[in-house]
Amino acid sequence: MSTSSNSGASNAEVVIVGTGVVAAVVAEQLLDAGLSVLMLEAGPRVSRAEIVENYRNLPLGNKGNAIASYPSKPWAPHPEPKSGRPGDDYLQVSGPNGIGYLQSYVRYAGGSTWHWAGTCWRLTPEDMRLNSLYGVGRDWPFPYEELEPYYVMAEYKLGICGPSDAAEQWPQGVKRSKPYPMPELPFSPGEEKFTKVMREKLGLRNVHVAQARNSGMPYDSRPACCGNNNCVPVCPVGAKYDAATSLGRLEAKGATILHNAVVYKVETNANNEIAAVNYLDPNKDSHRITGKTFVLACNGIETPKLLLMSADERNPNGLANSSDQVGRNMMDHPQLAYKIKLKEPYWTGLGPVVNSGIMETSQGDYRSRHAAAYFRFNNFAQNRFVTFDTLKQGLIGRELDEQLRHNTATSGMIVAAHEVLPDPENRLTLSDKKDWLGLPKPAVHFDVGEYTRRSAREFSEPMIQRIADAMGVEEAPTSPGFRPSKHIMGGTIMGKDSSNAVVDDVCRAYDHANLFLPGGGAMPSTATGNSTITMVALAFRASEAIIRQMKTGA
């Protein structure tokens, strides 16, 4: 693959910064509507084979590091803690739970869906009305019923498999307008056992994850999942949706995609509309791209960073920031992960790495007091987590094989993923530290807040202990504390009131009529399930608004 920015193009009707899932979905909708599209990617464009080989060549001690297969380029660093690479200290974190916001995202063409698990939980109607129902957080500016058709579009675009049995679907008891395009994926032996134990001992329902992965059949010119158990960090066959799988199709439809093109400034004109974006190439030469409409969809951290970097005379606090909310309300699903040592085998490691979850715990009136949480039993093969400790025991021969096999079969991880509330003090700012291009590094101050801490104390930690007891553990599990789920939300928050929100209900910036900021940054509430499907639903909704605005001026 080329390492240059294959430049030459300088304008399009719609300029999209980013090539991840949101950018790719918006681009395809606009191309299908007959609009010209130019996309800019900060990082390189690489083949799947290269990433798979990167993974396979990692030492065992680094195979659990989801970002290690994606070495960042000097000009497009992404967080790579303790790596000695360009992204080593790229994301500066601080605050009571700073380490809980040490995100992992990929600045490569195709974005972070390269290394996502593919999990696609929809929000519930209640998740979108936290303030009305429970007196906390923010409401969405529109109800679930308005989002539902866009969820269906997302499910068919990404190829999301899920159960046809309504009792197994999430949200439960909420009508779907269309079935999933593919059936659910089978459980591993360990997941089967976990599901049975939860039902029989705790009365909890562990349900199949709706996931962007081809189940039992090819879909979207991608093959069926064959259970490679490597969704994170990379699906070796492309059975899992990632945006990289769609880039060739976008180009065939006429899109221009520039890679190694680091957008560093968004320009406004006298009407305070967006006039152009400027990018640096790896030679540090600057280029200018003009257009009629602009979409920033380059990650929940990079998008607010770019808006703040683009401050000008008309917008001294950064673009789209008259509300002073750009970069505030940074959210995620803070998770508590517990390694467990079981008395009996619960073999994990057949099928996708995240394949089920207990979602019903995430709803209830308790949300007026503390955050919701959902629980899951991960399905990663355990070899890489148990080998070193087993080898350190000094065993040999048959005894070693038996102990290693025992530890692999009886080890696992259970996780509690929490919601957080939008808090303006959880804030992304521009660090005074600079990256290789001389651009400011992002800095995030993060505190999960008492609402989420109380959830851990009163709800999720006791529930984890009950789950562990029911499974049969050798000892009570412990967690190192809140860690990120890598679901970046809130930095360009949506709302009805332009004085405390960045974008309106179609992800259009209040301050700039031709600027759209779809994606996780717009989400006013997090709930507990992974954010991508909602980001994609918002991408479809924004696409309709862009087409309407460009074709009719409405």
Partner 1 sequence: MSQMNPKDGVQSQSRRNFLRAGAILGADSLLGVSLPVSAALANEPGVASFMKLSRLLVNHHLDEGVGQRMWVLLKDKHSNLNQNVADILKIATQKQAKIVEDFFADIPVGELQDLAYQIIFGWYAGCLDTSAQAESFAFEQALTFQNTADVITIPSYGVSGPNDWADRPNVPVLPLRKF
Q: Judged by CB, which is closer to partner 1: 230, or 452?
A: 230
Q: Judged by CB, which is closer to partner 1: 39, or 66?
A: 66
List Cβ neighbours of 68 (8 Å cut-off, separation of 6 or more).
54, 55, 58, 62, 80, 83, 233
Q: Could you tell me the smallest distance in angstroms from the CB atom of residue 440 to partner 1?
A: 28
List Cβ neighbours of 198 (8 Å cut-off, separation of 6 or more).
204, 205, 206, 358, 467, 470
Q: How far is CA 102 from the centre of its chain?
A: 13
Alpha-carbon gap, residue 221 to 238, rounded angstroms: 10
Alpha-carbon gap, residue 406 to 404, rounded angstroms: 5
Q: Could you tell me the smallest distance in angstroms from the CB atom of residue 156 to partner 1?
A: 16
Q: Judged by CB, which is closer to partner 1: 474, or 497?
A: 474
Q: Could you tell me the smallest distance in angstroms from the CB atom of residue 80 to partner 1?
A: 11
Task: Give me the numbers of helices (H) and strands (E) for the chain, helices first please.
Answer: 12, 15
Q: Could you tell me the smallest distance in angstroms from the CB atom of residue 279 to partner 1?
A: 33
List Cβ neighbours of 519 (8 Å cut-off, separation of 6 or more).
22, 297, 300, 303, 492, 507, 535, 538, 539
**What tokens were used for 312?**
């000008």
Q: Judged by CB, which is closer to partner 1: 381, or 545?
A: 381
Taking residue 245's Cβ as centre, other Cβ atoms within 10 Å add up to: 21
CA proximity to 430, closest of 285, 281, 264: 264
One-letter amino acid identity for 24? A
Q: Judged by CB, which is closer to partner 1: 120, or 276?
A: 120
Q: Could you tell me the smallest distance in angstroms from the CB atom of residue 201 to partner 1?
A: 16
Q: Could you tell me the smallest distance in angstroms from the CB atom of residue 230 to partner 1?
A: 4
Alpha-carbon gap, residue 407 to 391, rounded angstroms: 11
One-letter amino acid identity for 405? R
Q: Could you tell me the smallest distance in angstroms from the CB atom of residue 187 to partner 1?
A: 8
Helix (H) or strand (E) holding 357: strand 356-357
- Residue 352 phi/psi, 5-degree rounding, is -65, 160
Residue of 259, 370, 418, 487 with catalytic role? 487
The residue ranges that bind partner 1 (CB under 8 A) are 52, 55-63, 65, 68, 82-83, 185-190, 192-193, 214-218, 223-230, 234, 236-237, 345-351, 380-381, 383-384, 387-388, 391, 394, 396-398, 400-402, 404-406, 408-410
Annotated catalytic, 487? yes
Q: Could you tell me the smallest distance in angstroms from the CB atom of residue 409 to partner 1?
A: 5
Q: Judged by CB, which is closer to partner 1: 81, or 98?
A: 81
Q: Could you tell me the smallest distance in angstroms from the CB atom of residue 400 to partner 1?
A: 7
Alpha-carbon gap, residue 301 to 305, rounded angstroms: 6
Q: Judged by CB, which is closer to partner 1: 239, or 320?
A: 239
**What tokens were used for 523?**
């989400």
Q: Judged by CB, which is closer to partner 1: 83, or 94?
A: 83
Q: Judged by CB, which is closer to partner 1: 293, or 408?
A: 408
CA angle 214, 143, 455 (to 5 degrees): 80
Alpha-carbon gap, residue 524 to 231, rounded angstroms: 28
CA proximity to 235, closest of 217, 209, 213: 213
Q: Give a three-class secondary structure readout of 501-552.
A: CCECCCCEECCCCCEECCCHHHCCCCCCCCCHHHHHHHHHHHHHHHHHHHHH
Alpha-carbon gap, residue 262 to 461, rounded angstroms: 42
Q: Are 213 and 225 in contact (CB under 8 A)?
A: yes
Alpha-carbon gap, residue 480 to 337, rounded angstroms: 8
Q: Which of the residues are catalytic?
A: 487
